[in-house]
Structure 1
Amino acid sequence: MNDPATDTPTPDRPGLPRLGVFGLMLSIFLATLDGQLVSTALPTIVGDLGGLEHFSWAVTAYLLTMAASTPVWGKLGDLYGRKGACLSSVTLFLVGTVLCGLAQSMGQLIAFRGLQGLGAGGLMVGALSVIGVVVPARDRGRIQSMVGVMMPVAFVGGPLLGGFITDYMSWRWAFYVNVPVGVVALLAITRGVRLPPARVTGRIDWLGTALLTTGILALTLLAGWAGTTYAWTSWQIAVLAVVVVLALAWFVRVELRAAEPVTPPRLFARRDFTLAQILSFLAGAVLFSVVNYLPQYMQFVQGSSSTASGLLILPLMFGMLTAQLTTGRLMDRGGMDRVVALAGGGTALAGALLLLLLGTDTPLAAASAYTLVIGVGIGALIQATMVATMNNAYPRDMGAATGTVTLVRTIGGSLGVALLGALQSSRMSEVLTERLGSAAQQRLTAGGALTPAQLKDMTTATRDAVKDAVSSGLHGVLLGAAVVSALAFGTAWFVRATPPLIPAPAGPPDAGTEAEAGKDSARASSGD
């Protein structure tokens, strides 16, 4: 039973709403699975619809709108009802999905992918914010373990399912397959989640929303274009960097004065909340970088196919899954926040250093097995950050809090891939130039045209040079991942094992809430 005054389960509530939790899990699964399905089918889609020059925008449009809408969905849920916001995001996602399947040109597909991304931005944050107020603090670790299972399953199952659909069915089913899952999620959430109707007096901070959206869009474009579409020193990248700094600086100023800020500054009065966001950013950078560049090594150096390269990092995904299931149970007992974060950072560091053993002569089985350790570390870090975020946010800010931690992890991943990718490209170019000369290096890497399929037509010397270059490039990524993991380990030492916040009224913070926030701020300042 829920307490209407707090929109939070009372301690004597019998059991968890299993049907509702199942629906929320499906919502999160949709958010993670879609990108993996579509990435596999995109080459076929482009071949059917034409417009190869717009290939990247089919992905970029989705990522841009998803990232920009994530914090807005969280705030909409806080103000006008979390269940309604969750259902609305699933519905919008399904509408965009069906339209993508019906697209007749690349222009239509890009527009519909943008619409789909608007809905996708609310899938995970909507589900997590509902979980934050429906599930008692003592059960959040267990539920977060279930959430954590979704990511590795989608990362591995998505490409396999996408490849099967593309090979044996129409590519349009890569979109349509989401519809039955989404419909079941809608029905389960509608029937299984019971929240008292609540509407907070206030309006969306539209100026803050616009500034945050501008900053996120510019940052996403910068991460995607820097070092690939445009040189790091180009005027386009410089302009994007200036826009990012100005928009986010102005956003912070607006949020400090807004009556209903998109990201309430009071959240950051709790030291552990702020540390959780830093850890989430670092975990995202390590995860996305390693997952993006390990398959490249498997394909170029180990000679694996695209599908097989995904299967070869199964130990990494299994490590994430195991860590999240285990640490979720541990964190339910309380007082384990620092221990889990330290274990995650330390294990991720050890895993990144272990992967430096990968080379051109590493046995395939060993190369696959080595990924297990870093997977365990990343899984523990992600679990620690999400549970800490929920435990350090008042119920009325749960949507904004979960939106923030999700967005921060996405930004960390985007920047990690861009920055470490630049390091990877630099090391590859150095090795190719040293072994083959600058002319051959430019010919091989011009426009990013080098593919694993081209290796069989190369001379033995060229093939060996490419394999050495890819291994060296991966080592650059792994060294960067090790540094980031070390930063996460160091940050984790400052985490405190603070108990979950006492539920506060769902309306504007009252005197008690403000007093508690003031105490938290004072404790953070004093280092208690």
Structure 2
Amino acid sequence: MTDTTAANAHPRARREVLVALSGLLLALFVATLSSTVVTTALPKIIGALQGTQTQYTWIVTATLLTTTATTPIWGKLADLFSKKTLVQASVTVFVLGSLAAGLSQDPGQLIAARAVQGIGVGGVQALVQIALAAMIPPRERGRYSGYLSSVTAASTIGGPLLGGLIVDTSWLGWRWCFFIGIPVAAIALVLLQRTLRLPVIRRDNVKIDYLGATLIAAGVSVLLIWISFVGDAFDWASWQTAAMLAGTLVLLAIALWVETRAAEPIVPLGIVRQRTTALAITGSLAVGTAMFGAAVFLSQYFQAGRGYTATQAGLLTIPMMAGILVSSIVAGRLISRSGKVKPFIVTGAVLLAGGFAGLGTIDHTTSLVLMSAAMLCVGLGVGMTMQNFVLVVQNAVPLKDIGTASSTVSFFRSLGGTIGVSVLGAVLARHVEELTTHGTAVRAAYGDATGRIFLICAAVAALGILAAVLLKPVTLRTSLDKPDSAPSVARSVAIATEAVDATAPLDQTSVLSAADDPGPAPGEVRAQGKLGP
């Protein structure tokens, strides 16, 4: 049996994988938490810093934008360099951004600090999925994807609750919404150093497509700026609108041209054009819009539209969090058992659209029982679709492309969330203004206007249903790599083995050496030397 065959035949022991995942999951938790912990605190933050409704939206959008722009860069780097070092670097950037956010003195400083946070968040979110994909086969990955979805759910939906508790506690204050993640991130760094041991695959003449990444980020940024200010600072039919839309199209067109010619493109068009990847991207756009839209605007609805405190607003979102937790764990285990993923994605997409259709009927007097049922459906839908859209893509590509493929799907999911929050925030602001102009009370205006933006979410989620239905039914493979990619994997393992110290024995009881390309399973190692940095 060759080393590669051994790696495919003997997946890593579950305990070994969980130990290696401990630091990754903690890093994922605190990074994702940073995107939502401010949602319930934003009204008080904006009040304290004397900000505007547009700045309210951009405090969230800035993080999503830089997360989106940097995710494919982190993914490409993960295919070229040490994943462990990259994870540690992304957590460090996150800590620096959190510190700066907590010390901000005005909305502009806070938005800039949140942008730095987003760079770290993009790395953590992409690299955790990539490391998991390199350690275990797709068939078994469903079980562990449930852990990722659970952590993401707890941080995404639990963040508003924590933020509410912080701002409602007089001796803490809103700045602790940013400071609280720093010690947790420090613990994650310690765990990563102690538990994650990964081989480093060295490649010569590596070229990172920084130009393509810059053009994509610039194009998306111009679009978001237009969405934020159109109808307020300038008219829809104006030279500013024409200039910004033209600028967006030109920048993205040049980015597309650059990507077709780059030696190492940030968004490889060959992978994106594959049917499975294209459909997963479409579905991920819908999930991203839904997840971030729900987290941001439900909290605002409960506070501004219903008069609840920040803590109460967080508690009222528990049905959605429970739905994500339950569905992600149960679906993950069933997927690992059956190897079938499409039925769960289709079911989740239908629940997601149905839940938002229910939320689309709300106003400032809607029964909380009915809202809880709708939020539960949204949560169940997110739990069944979010990680599984990534999983079907990981199953379709060779291991050497896992980083790029995974981050590409994550990129478009973040893009959906970024554009979604900006568009929905703009629609909400305009509708609230219309209602208050016609004599409606501000609280009632927020309550009535929120239903309209959730109808938009329902329409986007319906697009996710179409993408899910069109996915080809597949049985997830039980090997780490595609069978036709085995020779290239063997060569990569050989390169990694040549780079290690040949004098020290490898301690497989405490070292997990799996991530850049699969090595032999525990007990099958023949090469000597300690792998990883």
Q: What TM-score do the two structures reach when normalised by structure 1?
A: 0.80
Aligned-residue identity in percent: 34
* Letter matched to residue 502 of structure 1: K
Preserved CA contact (<8 Å) 2:71 2:123: yes
Report the equivalent of 1:32: 32
Which of residues 290, 298, 301 in structure 2 aligns to 1:286?
290
C-alpha spacing 1:322/1:507, structure 2 compared with 1 (3 Å):
same
Which of residues 179, 194, 199 in structure 1 aligns to 2:197?
194
1:124-523 equivalence runs, <5 A: 124-166=125-167, 167-201=170-204, 202-227=206-231, 230-299=234-303, 302-359=306-363, 361-421=365-425, 424=428, 436=438, 440=439, 450=442, 452=443, 466=444, 470-471=447-448, 473-498=449-474, 499-500=476-477, 502=482, 504=485, 505=488
Distance in 1 (alpha carbons) for counterparts of 2:434 and 2:102: 43
Superposition deviation, residue 157 in structure 1: 2.9
Distance in 2 (alpha carbons) for counterparts of 1:483 and 1:137: 31
C-alpha spacing 1:90/1:417, structure 2 compared with 1 (3 Å):
closer
* Letter matched to residue 149 of structure 2: G
C-alpha spacing 1:233/1:168, structure 2 compared with 1 (3 Å):
farther
Superposition deviation, residue 128 in structure 1: 1.3
* Letter matched to residue 207 of structure 1: L
SS in structure 2 of the partner of residue 79 of structure 1: coil
Distance in 2 (alpha carbons) for counterparts of 1:293 and 1:58: 13
Preserved CA contact (<8 Å) 1:428 1:470: no
Preserved CA contact (<8 Å) 1:82 1:399: no
Distance in 1 (alpha carbons) for counterparts of 2:435 and 2:98: 43
Distance in 2 (alpha carbons) for counterparts of 1:159 and 1:492: 30
Superposition deviation, residue 45 in structure 1: 5.6
* Letter matched to residue 161 of structure 1: L
Distance in 2 (alpha carbons) for counterparts of 1:128 and 1:151: 12
SS in structure 1 of the partner of residue 397 of structure 2: coil
Preserved CA contact (<8 Å) 2:227 2:426: no
Superposition deviation, residue 246 in structure 1: 1.8
For residues 2-22 of structure 1, what are the alpha-carbon distances to aligned partners after superposition, in whole Å with 9 as ceiling and x for unaligned? 96x799776343334222211
Distance in 2 (alpha carbons) for counterparts of 1:352 and 1:163: 24
Distance in 1 (alpha carbons) for counterparts of 2:316 and 2:151: 18
For residues 128-187 of structure 1, what are the alpha-carbon distances to aligned partners after superposition, in whole Å with 9 as ceiling and x for unaligned? 111111222222112111111123322343233334334322544333322221122122
Distance in 1 (alpha carbons) for counterparts of 2:238 and 2:77: 38
Preserved CA contact (<8 Å) 1:270 1:392: no
Which consecutive unaligned segments of at least 5 residues does structure 1 have? 445-449, 453-465, 510-528
SS in structure 1 of the partner of residue 263 of structure 2: coil
SS in structure 1 of the partner of residue 79 of structure 2: helix
Report the equivalent of 1:460: none
C-alpha spacing 1:6/1:176, structure 2 compared with 1 (3 Å):
farther
Distance in 2 (alpha carbons) for counterparts of 1:190 and 1:197: 15
Superposition deviation, residue 269 in structure 1: 4.6
SS in structure 2 of the partner of residue 168 of structure 1: coil
Which consecutive unaligned segments of at least 5 residues does structure 2 have? 493-533
For residues 167-225 of structure 1, what are the alpha-carbon distances to aligned partners after superposition, in whole Å with 9 as ceiling and x for unaligned? 32254433332222112212222222232111233210222222222223223334444
C-alpha spacing 1:230/1:190, structure 2 compared with 1 (3 Å):
farther
Preserved CA contact (<8 Å) 1:27 1:90: yes
Preserved CA contact (<8 Å) 1:8 1:133: no
C-alpha spacing 1:334/1:274, structure 2 compared with 1 (3 Å):
farther
Distance in 2 (alpha carbons) for counterparts of 1:190 and 1:422: 43
Greater RCO (Cα-Cα under 8 Å, separation 6 or more)? 2
Distance in 2 (alpha carbons) for counterparts of 1:221 and 1:31: 25
Superposition deviation, residue 320 in structure 1: 1.9
Q: In terms of mean alpha carbon deviation, does 53-62 or 167-176 score higher? A: 53-62
Report the equivalent of 1:447: none
Q: CA RMSD in A?
A: 3.3
Superposition deviation, residue 25 in structure 1: 0.7
SS in structure 1 of the partner of residue 470 of structure 2: coil
State the number of aligned residues. Answer: 478
Preserved CA contact (<8 Å) 1:6 1:395: no
Distance in 2 (alpha carbons) for counterparts of 1:170 and 1:304: 18
